[in-house]
Amino acid sequence: MTQFPSYASSFRLYKSVSEQYNDRSILDSVKRLIPEKVLHLIADDQTLKPLLHWFKNDFMKWMPKELQCIRCNNRPMSIQLVDANSGALRKTEIHVCNVCGSEQIFQRYDNILRIAETRVGRCSEWSILFGAITNSLPIQTRIVHDYLDHCWNESLINNKWVHIDSTLDYPISFDHPYYYEQNWGKNYEYVLAFSANSVEDVTTRYTQQWYLVQKRRGRKDKMKELREIYYRT
Ligand SMILES: [Zn+2]
């Protein structure tokens, strides 16, 4: 089980992201990133397929966890993490080649406009920015974290929260909530969805093995405590 201090630092991130989702000037800026052609296509397509396709294939780049040295092709490089709790930067990853000593730097931002400039990241950067893009349309969208190793989005479509994962290929990226459990062997305990002033337990939407989730949770339901931590964050 992820411990509470780790919840607290991720809560700061998701609260900041959710607040940015309510910021009209940020949403206006990210909306301008969407090509006209894609905007036209999604006007009649509630599956968001053209938007997901553009975002994954034309806009964002994936940052692997392990990099290969661009000078001598050695891999994997060793990784140093530098925390930065100031401004838009969350942390910096410095990948150092053990053979030739060259370095590659990956800076991780919680600031949506910085992510939109760099256009690179892993599931957190992708879901933070994709959530802003859908909110700009406007389709109300929030960020979801499974507290194992992945995060994604949920969009409110026809009054229902729908699973959206911009890192996956369509159609898996749209409304395939059991995909992770079925294919990645996820053993959920708490899957949480965030808004600016609340955190919601959405685990039941992602599991067909609720009895196992309950067993993992044990007697104590941590949601009350997690809500208080989020409220204080
Ligand atoms: Zn090297």
Residue by residue, pLDDT tens for the chain (233 residues) are 445 667 888 999 999 999 999 999 999 999 999 999 999 999 877 679 999 999 999 999 999 999 999 999 999 899 999 887 666 788 899 999 999 999 999 999 999 999 999 999 999 999 999 999 999 999 999 999 999 999 999 999 999 999 999 999 999 999 999 999 999 999 999 999 999 999 999 999 999 999 999 999 998 889 999 999 999 98
What pLDDT score does 7 carry?
87
Contacts with 24 (C-beta within 8 Å, 6 or more apart), sequence order: none
Residues with CB under 5 A from ligand 1 (ion): 69, 71-72, 74, 97, 99-100
Dist. CA 126 → ligand 1 center (Å)? 28
Assess contact for 128 and 110: CB atoms under 8 A.
yes
Q: What are the structure tokens assigned to 44, written together?
A: 């009649």
Dist. CA 93 → ligand 1 center (Å)? 16
| Omega prior to 5 cis, within 30 of 0 | no
19-to-27, 91, 107, 137, 144 alpha-carbon distances in Å: 11, 20, 21, 17, 15
pTM exceeds 0.85, yes or no: yes
What pLDDT score does 1 carry?
47
What pLDDT score does 212 carry?
97
Dist. CA 127 → ligand 1 center (Å)? 31
Residue 2's CB is within 10 A of a number of other CB atoms, namely 12
Report the C-alpha gap between 185 and 192 in whole angstroms: 18
What pLDDT score does 152 carry?
98
Dist. CA 42 → ligand 1 center (Å)? 44
Report the catalytic residues. 123, 150, 165
Domains and CATH numbers, the chain: 4-63+122-232 (3.10.620.30), 64-121 (2.20.25)
Dist. CA 56 → ligand 1 center (Å)? 29
Dist. CA 77 → ligand 1 center (Å)? 8
